[in-house]
Structure 1
Amino acid sequence: MKVATLVAVAAAALTACSSSDDSSASADFNKADVSFAQDMIPHHRQATEMAALAKTRTDTAAVLELAADIEAAQGPEIDTMTGWLKEWGKDVPADGDDMGGMDHSNMGDDSSSMPGMMSDDQMAELEASSGVAFDQMFLTMMVAHHEGAVQMAKAEQSDGKNAEAKALAGTIRKDQTAEIATMRDLLGS
């Protein structure tokens, strides 16, 4: 009986250690990590909303491919960051929440907490466009949007603590910098 009790206690202790070890890496976070996830989720949501518009507003293969790539990359990143916030016991931005309904548009103004976000008017203008006008507007807006995401990712890499969040920030910087170059080529700039 003593051996069985000892084995049960040892097994319980090992289980507790392994489960806490598994979560300790992702549980190690700071305010910058939380801000990164809470800001990047609505930022990515807007990018995927913009990208989804391309399906019905352009026939340009390069724009359609870019929009599909943006949706394919950023949708799963939203899910990942949502998971972190839940695990950390922090608020997840509600769908459609751009930080309390404030206009965070930033076409060059670095004072915004979410640089590169489009205003409601800009989104409505994009939604109302099609063809060549859509392509031009989509690419121009998405360059600004991506530049904002790169800026936010740089801040996470310098100020964040969570290894997974910093790694995602590195991926965002790399991928979106490459997409910016592609979009500038498509714009001819």
Structure 2
Amino acid sequence: MLRTSMLSSTTWRRGLLAGAAVTATLVLSACGDDTSSDPGMSHGGMTATAAASAPASTTFNDADVMFAGMMIPHHRQAVEMAALADGSAASSEVKDLAAKIKAAQQPEIDTMSQWLAAWGHPMPAMGASAMPGMGASAMPGMDHSAMPGVMSQADMDKLAKAKGAAFDKQFLTMMISHHEGAVTMAQQEVTQGGNPDAKELAQKIITDQQAEITTMKGLLAKR
């Protein structure tokens, strides 16, 4: 039976708050070391004047950092799942969809990684395989088990062993759940984020992945 690591909105919110608290501490410490900074300005809550004059990439808040820091490993797992389709899927439609997911999400991973580096919160390098077991924390203070739609190691192992029609059904079921989790995370960014580029990407994720969810539900209904 498929198990996912989707948690309630309360748990997700608790994970966000915990990560935000650590991020805020790090940001305040960094600002405290910069004697040239305007006392009335911080990276997490810039003044109106500073926000207007600063490039979009440097205008951010805790929600933006949390969005990128958690969406990157979330995307990595989706890319890992999609990579299995080429040699395991029976349906050309599933293979084509998986290829589309990989093509869309890898560039988004690269973009968000660049944002985090610009914001002073770069993620340590880790392979996609580090995601399922949650053995490595991508960023301090972030509870990846709170991410909606994340697959367990058992689910990933089961998918990796599946072939043909069984793979197609398992892949579609898992990816629908995974996409629904990404949409939840992106909606949080649209509501609470401060960086225009990050909010724009979040809206794109919502639009793209909701469309893919509809497609996958249609493919699943045929099986």
SS of equivalent to 1:101: coil
The 5 Å alignment of 1:117-156 reads 117-156=150-189
Matched-pair contact (CA < 8 Å) for 1:146–1:176:
yes
Offset at 1:33? Answer: 0.3
Ranges in structure 1 where 5+ consecutive residues have no aligned partner = 1-20, 104-110
Ranges in structure 2 where 5+ consecutive residues have no aligned partner = 1-51, 138-143
Q: Does structure 1 residue 72 correspond to structure 2 residue 103?
A: yes
Q: How many residues align?
A: 162
- The RMSD of aligned alpha carbons is 2.2
Q: After the TM superposition, list the runs of 4 or more consecutive aligned residues in structure 1 that deviate by more than 4 angstroms.
A: none
- The one-letter amino acid of 1:84's match is W
* Length-normalised TM-score, structure 2: 0.68
Q: For structure 1, which segment, 21-30 or 112-121, has the greater mean C-alpha deviation from structure 2 after superposition?
A: 21-30
Please name the residue that 2:206 is paired with: 173
Offset at 1:114? Answer: 1.0
Please name the residue that 2:35 is paired with: none
Query: Greater CA radius of gyration, 1 or 2?
Result: 1
* Length-normalised TM-score, structure 1: 0.80
CA distance in 1, matches of 2:116, 2:160: 31
Identity of aligned residues (%): 54
Relative contact order (C-alpha < 8 Å, sep 6+): which is higher?
A: 2
The 5 Å alignment of 1:107-122 reads 112-122=145-155
Residues 59-85 of structure 1, C-alpha deviation per residue, up to 9 Å, x if partnerless?
311101100100000000000000000
Offset at 1:153? Answer: 0.2
Q: 1:23 to 1:71 in 2, by over 3 A?
A: farther
Q: 1:164 to 1:90 in 2, by over 3 A?
A: same
Please name the residue that 2:113 is paired with: 82
